[in-house]
Amino acid sequence: MTTKNSIGIVKTKIFKSSNSLKLKSGKVLKEYSLIYETYGKLNAKRNNAVLVCHALSGNHHLAGKYSSKDKHPGWWDNLIGPNKPLDTNKFFVIGINNLGGSDGSSGPKSINKKTNKPWGSKFPITTVEDWVNSHEALITSLNIPKLAAVIGGSLGGMQAIQWSIQYPEKIEHAIVIAAAPNLTAQNIAFNEVARQSIITDPDFNKGNYYEKKKRPKRGLRIARMLGHITYLSDDVMGSKFGRKQKNKDYQYNFNTEFEIESYLNYQGDKFAEEFDANTYIRMTKALDYYDPANGNKKNLSKIFKKIKSKVLVIAFTSDWRFSPNRSKEIVKALLDNNINVKYAEITAASGHDAFLMTEPRYHAILESYFKEMLRN
């Protein structure tokens, strides 16, 4: 993208709530803070706001850079900006770092005022429902009576679903990408392996490691490596790496020899330096717990009776973690209630990560949908 398509330099904002938030677990946060960013301008009618919900390892920094020296822009910069599919010349876009996050919102790294130490393991587990409630409080503070849309991929898509259930009067469109109404047993299993790699790291110290010199990087590194395997399709791994070796001949030792090994090690090391282990295990728990139908597919149609928004559901053919069949479950439950829903299944080789990629047909569908929103 050229500079004319860029958001440019952006700044973070902070929302501080002195109102208590009762969590789904029954615990209460007496006060909390959310870090967020906004792009574009809120129009006079205050009806052009789009909330973007992030996935497991995402955050509030959707687009632009904090300084010209930054190597990379926000994680959805290919989608959000002037004259991009989510056009900031037309929409007021909001990105929020969820509760429990590691980028400034209240979470395990935050200071517990009772102890003047980081919360660590004592910070309560928060759920998709809790995030939506906290989002709504922030949106209300901005004097936005109704969101034009809530959009998200993966775990972000689950939040978009929940917004339409929890606050049906406050959302006009829900855009649900590469998501599911709940996790399969296989997905829960992947999350548990990731958590165990972190929890059993000796440096994890039961989640209370902030005041120590060591953090559980080894466990977090392995968790991320596992995650990357599930986010990519076999075809992409094959075409990108195949059986390529770093050296011409086998070394007959346990050092890195294949290019795929080198890639996973790099991604794991990089992530372990940037992300927080306590946040990672909490985000995976939020994924596991999300199930508006409480395990009964028939209940999903009953729950969706509350929905008043229009819905766009997008799936990717090569996504085996949240397969198109899971998206079709959402579509069916919506159709059972005669809800206005559009479904697109994109042929893409990138696997689950396709929702982050600049896939032409995918972006064209989103651009068309947003333009249709403006016309209506």
| DSSP code of residue 147 | B
- Which value, to the nearest 10 degrees, does the dihedral of the CA atoms of residues 130, 136, 142, 146 take? 160
Phi/psi at 60 (5° precision): -80, -15
| Nearest alpha-carbon partner for 168 in 154, 141, 147 | 147
Residue among 103, 201, 276, 319 flagged as catalytic: 319
What is the spatial distance between Cα 291 and Cα 307, in angstroms, rounded to a whole number? 16
Sequence length of the chain is 376
154 among known catalytic residues: yes
For residues 294 and 300, the answer to whether their CB atoms sit within 8 Å is no
What is the spatial distance between Cα 268 and Cα 227, in angstroms, rounded to a whole number? 9
For residues 31 and 18, the answer to whether their CB atoms sit within 8 Å is yes
Q: How far apart are the first and last CA of the chain?
A: 29
Residue among 154, 164, 197, 350 flagged as catalytic: 154
Phi/psi at 29 (5° precision): -95, 115
In terms of Cβ atoms closer than 10 Å to its own Cβ (0-12, 13-18, 19+), residue 143 is exposed
319 among known catalytic residues: yes
Phi/psi at 96 (5° precision): -125, 135
What is the spatial distance between Cα 343 and Cα 177, in angstroms, rounded to a whole number? 10
Helices (H), ranges, the chain? 128-141, 155-166, 185-199, 217-231, 234-240, 259-274, 277-289, 297-303, 324-335, 360-375
203 among known catalytic residues: no
Q: Give Cα 164 to chain centroid, integer Å.
A: 17
| Nearest alpha-carbon partner for 341 in 351, 327, 352, 331 | 331
- Annotated catalytic residues are 154, 319, 352
